[in-house]
Amino acid sequence: MSAAPLDRWALGRALTRMANASTAERARAAPREAPRQVARRIGITGAPGAGKSTLVGHLALERLSKGRLGVLAVDPSSPKSGGAILGDRVRMDDLERSTELYIRSLGSRRTCDGLADNLPEMLDIMDEFGFDEVLLETVGIGQAEYAVRAQVDTLVLVLLPDSGDTVQAMKAGIMEMADIFVVNKSDLPGAQKMATDIQRIAAVLRPPAGAWRPPILLASASQPDSIRALSQAIDQHQAWRGADPQWRTQLRAQRARYRLRRLLEMRAAEAIAGQGDDFVDLPMAEQLTAVLAAMRAALAL
């Protein structure tokens, strides 16, 4: 547990400032050394309306005893209140009583991968404020799973009972990325069939010996046992991860690369958009020179 009390006002301000930071400001904000404390990062992703917020709310109640807990919800639509973020089935008074819980909604703005623009930096801020764990809700819109993968230690993919076609469509890519599958709303028909479908696909993938084998769980907001089982699966995955001495170093390298790539992608998009009409008629080499010059200037390099 963190000793210093949580300064919500300072945290809120730091997150807001980072949410609105320009690319150049972000470049300056990159940490030079590893933070003293790194929060466990649990990603909860899945299709719109899969019940992610409701699940995150119940998980937050279940995991509050593990220390300072942050909930960040990347909301592609409008910013919502804390209550709406956590779905409509959780008793908010239980959560709000806690001084060690912080809930925040982040708009996904202009990014196409469904993550907030400055999410890596905002997660660093959570580390600085001594969080033990961060639950990150993102809407899975294809690329989102790839983007969120680099940001979290444990990725939970939330699926619905009645989406047999979706499993076919998502195929191996996303299946290989998730650490835990949850067939949510298992009070509705078709949950077991969905779980069996995932099992079949997972069996074909054949993970190498020693690899994590993602559990396939059924969950429902109305069944507290199912939330507890999910929470335990998260703990098991965290323990498995932590047993690998190389893991933290690899994770840090992976996140650093992702951060840089994202910074360059955003700046490149801005630099291209800022070129005049005659730009498209220039030879490619000149286009590149112009774009790189604009990027250098914007990043104040």
Ligand X SMILES: Nc1nc2c(ncn2[C@@H]2O[C@H](COP(=O)(O)OP(=O)(O)OP(=O)(O)O)[C@@H](O)[C@H]2O)c(=O)[nH]1
Residues lying near ligand X in the complex (CB under 6 A)? 48-54, 87-89, 139, 184-185, 187-188, 220-221
- The residue among 173, 168, 154, 77 whose CA lies nearest residue 116 is 77
* 3-state secondary structure (DSSP) of residue 182: strand
Closer CB to ligand X, 88 or 244, in the complex: 88
The 10 Å Cβ neighbour count of residue 154 is: 21
Element (H, E) at 74: strand 69-75
The interface partner of residue 7, options being Mg ion, ligand X, none and the CB cut-off 5 to 8 Å by kind, is none
Least spacing, CB of residue 51 vs ligand X, in Å: 3
List Cβ neighbours of 39 (8 Å cut-off, separation of 6 or more). 70, 123, 126, 127, 131, 132, 133, 134
The interface partner of residue 128, options being Mg ion, ligand X, none and the CB cut-off 5 to 8 Å by kind, is none
Least spacing, CB of residue 9 vs ligand X, in Å: 27
The interface partner of residue 5, options being ligand X, Mg ion, none and the CB cut-off 5 to 8 Å by kind, is none
Element (H, E) at 82: helix 82-85
Closer CB to ligand X, 67 or 190, in the complex: 190
| CA 130 – CA 92 distance, rounded (Å) | 23
Give the residues lining the site for Mg ion (CB under 5 A). 52-53
Least spacing, CB of residue 214 vs ligand X, in Å: 20
Query: Which residue of this chain has its Cβ atom nearest to Mg ion in the complex?
Result: 53
Closer CB to ligand X, 40 or 185, in the complex: 185
Closer CB to ligand X, 71 or 271, in the complex: 71
Least spacing, CB of residue 44 vs ligand X, in Å: 9
Least spacing, CB of residue 58 vs Mg ion, in Å: 13
* 3-state secondary structure (DSSP) of residue 216: strand
* 3-state secondary structure (DSSP) of residue 40: strand
Written as six digits, the tokens of 223 are 């069944």
Least spacing, CB of residue 179 vs ligand X, in Å: 18
Long-range contacts of 196-202 (CB under 8 A, 24+ apart): 197/164, 197/167, 198/159, 198/167, 201/167, 201/171, 201/172, 201/175, 202/175
The interface partner of residue 88, options being Mg ion, ligand X, none and the CB cut-off 5 to 8 Å by kind, is ligand X
| CA 74 – CA 89 distance, rounded (Å) | 19
Closer CB to ligand X, 57 or 130, in the complex: 57
Least spacing, CB of residue 107 vs ligand X, in Å: 13
Closer CB to ligand X, 162 or 187, in the complex: 187
Closer CB to Mg ion, 53 or 186, in the complex: 53
The interface partner of residue 193, options being ligand X, Mg ion, none and the CB cut-off 5 to 8 Å by kind, is none
Place of tokens 């929470």: 231
